Chain A
Amino acid sequence: MHTSAADHTGGLWFEFWPALFFVAFAVMYLDAAGKSNGRFRKWPVYRSLCWCGGVGSVALGAGGFTAGPIHLGFVAHMTEHMLLGMIAPLLIVMAAPITLALRLLPTQWARRVTHFMNLPLIRILVHPVTAAFLNTGGMWLLYTTPLYEVMHGSSMVYFLVHLHFFLSGYLAAASILYVDPVSHRFSFSFRAVVLILSSAAHSILSKIVYFSPPPGVPVEEAQAGAQLMYYGGDVIEVALITIFCFQWYRAVQVRRRGSNGFSRP
């Protein structure tokens, strides 16, 4: 692995800016939640906690301890990947930032936001299948092509790959769990199938990484990283499924009010 001098200064930069930016992000959200409490029904505390946890995970994954594109080994990379691509997106989805923003924005701006979310391109992006492809497909590309090695030679590619981890992770989680408003909703069973298929693709990919490491990764590192990817992925998946099923459990109760029984499955 070659790490140039430019990458080292890049590393320092990567170490500092997340802390400042992300503290600002957390403060903005907490301030908004406080304002919302003054005008509307109380904003749940767990959402604020989710936001802080999510923002913190992004800060850690974006370089808090792994310091940018300096090659620190595959297990460290996989830890970053879990923080940025799985833990942070799930927590940020649970924080419902769009709902909070819509509560506080002036009507005209709120209309613009909802108009933006209704654009055909955005609707395609938040489709569960597109989101799953962007998320799992991106990982497939990274670990089965020379991209992983290319990434460690260029700060730009490194940044873009990590940005993609986070954004596609967010899209994937948001397209399965409807916490924020969604213009076109898909049924629970459709989303369940997408969830199962994409998490199957994730566990298949971790076993492929186990026996055929990405270029430039030693076998032992690849095996340790692959197992982290497999079992770490399971932990997040259990959390995601539990929240998903809880949403189903609550939705069925709401629909059932008034009519008793299974007449409307």
Chain B
Amino acid sequence: MSFLPACKELDRQPLGDMIRNFGENAVLRALDKPTLSSEDYMALLSPAAEPHLEAMAQAAHKRTLQHFGRTIQLFTPLYLANHCSNHCVYCGFNARNDIPRSQLSMDELRVEAEAIAATGLKHLLILTGEAPNKAGVDYLEEAVTVLAPIFPSVSIEVFPMDEADYVRLIGAGVDGLTVFQETYNKELYEKLHPAGPKRVYDYRLEAPDRGCRAGMRVVNIGGLLGLDDWRRESFMTGMHAAHLLHAYPGVDIAVSLPRMRPHTGAFQPAHIVDDRQLVQIMTALRLFLPRVSITISTREAPEFRDNILPLGVTRMSAGVTTAVGGHTKGNDTAQFDISDPRSVDEMCSALKTRGYQPVFKDWEPITSPGSHEIAR
């Protein structure tokens, strides 16, 4: 069963008010437990938890250390194309935005991939907008065939697709899937996505379930923090991750915590999430789900990224450009502005200074009999 029925049920509840009603005792109880219930998680997201942020941070640090050690896995995104038929009001690639559109040819892709590989990075996340007749499943499959011999791990963050298409891409060498629901608030979702295939909330919501069933090794979800009440959104994200963990025990579930950034276009977030709140979200999530990977992207500023390292983060992007071909052609078609422009080398020394080891490779492709290392 997918997350949809549970999500619909939760969506009917006044979750924001419920979370705001927790008192200090519930927070202290939650902090004391080895295994947290969904009510405990709510308590940690409540205003009553705010005075206990330091205790939450200490506990989250301890859990993270236990399960992940002092290591941070590094990856980088590669934008394949920025054509998009969607009208997401918060995004620079929005079909109505007048920006130069492009799509990498396979030769350009190879050059871009080699430029990334030269920095030492081994985990790659490929992205496109949603324009199935330009950058559809065939195009992605071809791209993955080019990339798989260069990178031990290739994940996709593209449009949601059917299970059979995920199976096809896994066959080509994809091992991870990222799908952001953006907001779990259905009514708001429909307002923010006025036109285009992304309008269909249910199809997007069930994409992680389809990816898990298709055999993805890692499935990464998240909400775009800033669109709606963050307490409610964070609770829903945690419940979504908990559902996936329970329903697909063989899949590694990961959560990203992206905050909205300035971009081309007029939309500004209605619910700004400040630094303290992001820390509350991350530490609550870590305590609720001690083994999920947590990703912090270069949307965040260098100093903040360095400071939140011990609080639950396990994966970070580095050497990032959000423009198509940005690693070789420059940055003028970026999806959004990044805040941490550090190179891979600079990221590594920053991690080492903080007592963390950057990990470049943490996967060996084993799905196809002639595996990566032997093939080369």
The finding on whether chains A and B are genuine partners in a shared complex, rather than unrelated, reads no
